[in-house]
Copies of this chain bind each other. A is one copy, B any other.
């Protein structure tokens, strides 16, 4: 450790690079031994610099949590923007938003779990930002589900429960995904987003739960398309 003396006058890009490295090592340590138990000495040692050099980059352990939370908020804003910019139908909006969330959970499980784990012990500012982020996810998902219900493509008993169920699908990825061991993040994002759409389309319900004959006619047309396609495939082969 402390192999190189680190002057405060380093270039901005070097500075950004080392700050990123500090954040990554700290997140690993928080995950492995808990936030409370991790000291700034541990973090400095893991990065390979002295504790006093570390202070050129971060002021406190708490500041690391603030930086992690900022990153989570930024990625959430990107997910919202991706959904709003590229999707038109409620199904596509849901698909894109869920896929973005899943990708993020798969690629950054540690910071996400850390923020959700320490919930009650988070510093006030981080906790407030965390609650805002949770609220944004819920509000955006609820709006898309409402839109789908309005368009007659989604159905659910309670929009809030449905939205939170979708949130659970996405967030839990941070608890089970292991890079390299599982199928790729992209494949998982695709399947989970399709699962969310299937869940909300709810076409598998019993007839009693169907809204009206209109939906049945839609389904009828779809069934006929499938049979027609199936016959054509047979003829062609």
Contact = CB atoms under 8 A, between A and B. Distances in A.
Contacts of A121: 33-34, 37
Contacts of A203: 198, 201, 203-204, 219
A205 interface: yes
Nearest to A138: B176
Contacts of A10: none
A32 B120 contact: yes
A152 to B, nearest CB: 12
A118 interface: yes
Interface string A133-171: 000000000000000000000001110011011011111
Contacts of A187: 158, 161
A164 B177 CA distance: 10
- Classify chain A's interface size: 35 or more
A52 interface: no
Tally of this chain's copies? 2
Main SS class of interface, A: helix
Interface of A: 31-34, 36-37, 116-118, 120-121, 156-158, 161-162, 164-165, 167-173, 175-176, 183, 187-188, 191-192, 194-205, 207, 210, 212-213, 215-217, 219-220, 222-227, 229-231
Contacts of A197: 204
B229 A224 contact: no
Residue among A116, A165, A212, A224 with most chain B CB within 10 A: A165
Contacts of A156: 191, 195
